[in-house]
Amino acid sequence: MTIPHPAPHPAVAALAPVIAARAEEIEAARRLPADLAADLAAAGLFRMIVPRSLGGLEMPPAEVVATIEAVAAADASTGWCLMIAATTGLTSAYLPRAVAAEVFADPKLITGGVFAPMGKAIAEGDHYRVSGRWSWGSGTANCSWIVGGATIVEDGAVRLLANGQPDHRMMIFPRDEVELIDSWHSAGLKGTGSGDFAVKDVMVPRDRSVSLIVDTPVETGPLYAFPAFGLLALGIAGVASGNARSALDEVKAALASKRAPGAKRSAAERGAVQVEIAKAEAALRAARALLYASLTEAWARAQSDGIIDTATRADLRLAATHMTRTAAAVTRDAYDLGGGAALYLSNPLQRRFRDAHAMTQHMMVGPATYELTGRVLLGLETDASTL
């Protein structure tokens, strides 16, 4: 199979140097600055997955990942905020068309939120009464609409799905109905503004909620045949890949000029350093090749018959998880090669290292993914609803 080299959205070429120059500012602010978020929105980057019928870009998944990757290479926190906004935009393809048109009317709209069902939604007529508090609200300070997953309670009991698991849906709230809580004091991805958010007894119309497990997209393009959780995991992998790429490039530049006291040769001329750089480069390229090969296979299926089988979905998740965790290992190698200088907060490798390891904590690329995909690889019966 030929592995493509997709190009990121053209707007990234102009935005990336600006983002990179402001990386320390972004980390110090603990959030994506409003003006930078507005620039990304004006370029349409937050609407990469929104249908064309709603004014979105409806980009092929490989181009979405390449765009996230390129932004993350400039700054991982900005890439993470882009990933969250872009993937929550997928809800636009599931909402009734009239509701989607209302929510996504503004071409400079920014969405964000959390899939995890940390809230409770009590069914009351045509609405849900929703209360809850969610962690990891990345980029919410710049959002107009915020999404939060909630377990459905109906007739006094938790509503169950056919597989016996609790039913939960993503509730979509206007920003002014949500309390943002300044709780984001983290080691990595510090600039994402991923604080908690909460609602109390907010009434959400039933048709302004989405289930990525049981609902069928209203939009019929091949992008919406892609598994929703696969898209989210791929976005995380894109952030990880871009961050690791820059970490390696940054340490290679540093090694070329680094000399021990009294040494005639640069650190780059040491055999041991050359070996470690080569191994890290091979690991990163191999993981990225698997990522895009899996994307290519799944996209071909989506375009041909709109059916992505369980094995292909498992391959996507496995590739995304492998990319994210390999990228963390590669970034650690770059950090090690950076020596004592990498301890300083002013050194980009310090930030790259912390950001890489923060990403591995996301449930979509966590160790449990290996168990889920391993079951599929072994031909065992598997609940594939979250693949």
Between 61-74 and 76-88, two packed helices, what is the crossing angle to 10 degrees?
150
Question: pLDDT digits over 263-288, tens only?
Answer: 678 888 899 999 999 999 999 999 99
Q: Is residue 382 part of a domain?
A: no
361 shares a domain with 299: yes
pLDDT at 262: 64
345 shares a domain with 237: yes
240 shares a domain with 349: yes
pLDDT at 46: 98
152 shares a domain with 237: no
Q: Is residue 183 part of a domain?
A: yes
371 shares a domain with 328: yes
**Structural domains counted in the chain:** 3
274 shares a domain with 137: no
Domain containing 177 equals: 113-210
Dihedral sign computed on CA atoms, order 241, 244, 245, 246: positive
pLDDT at 231: 94
Q: Is residue 284 part of a domain?
A: yes
The torsion region of residue 181 among left (phi > 0), alpha (psi -120 to 50) and beta comes to beta
- The span from the CA of 137 to the CA of 148, in Å, is 9
- Cα torsion at 324, 383, 111, 221 (round to 10°)? 100
198 shares a domain with 143: yes
DSSP H or E segment with residue 310: helix 310-337
Q: Is residue 162 part of a domain?
A: yes
51 shares a domain with 16: yes
358 shares a domain with 242: yes
R_g (Cα) of the chain, nearest Å: 21
pLDDT at 2: 55
Tokens matching residue 51:
């249908």
pLDDT at 268: 83
CATH code where residue 172 lies? 2.40.110.10
143 shares a domain with 33: no
CA atoms in the 13 A half-sphere facing the CB of 122: 9
Q: Report which of 113, 89, 106, 103 is spatially closest to residue 193, judged by C-alpha positions.
A: 113
Strand ranges inside the chain, DSSP E = 111-124, 127-134, 145-154, 157-158, 168-174, 179-181, 196-205, 209-210
CATH code where residue 65 lies? 1.10.540.10
Amino acid identity for residue 293 in this structure:
A
Q: Is residue 126 part of a domain?
A: yes
267 shares a domain with 186: no
Tokens matching residue 116:
């995890």
pLDDT at 49: 98
Give the single-character DSSP code of 202. E
152 shares a domain with 69: no
CATH code where residue 251 lies? 1.20.140.10
Q: Report which of 189, 192, 191 is spatially closest to residue 357, judged by C-alpha positions.
A: 189
Tens-digit pLDDT string for the chain (387 aa): 556 678 999 999 999 999 999 999 999 999 999 999 999 999 999 999 999 999 999 999 999 999 999 999 999 999 999 999 999 999 999 999 999 999 999 999 999 999 999 999 999 999 999 999 999 999 999 999 999 999 999 999 999 998 889 999 999 999 999 999 999 999 999 999 999 999 999 999 999 999 999 999 999 999 999 999 999 999 999 999 999 999 999 999 999 888 766 667 888 889 999 999 999 999 999 999 999 999 999 999 999 998 999 999 999 999 999 999 999 999 999 999 999 999 999 999 999 999 999 999 999 999 999 999 999 999 999 988 888
Q: Which residues contact 278 (CB under 8 A, 6 or more apart)?
A: none
Number of H helices, E strands in the chain: 11, 8
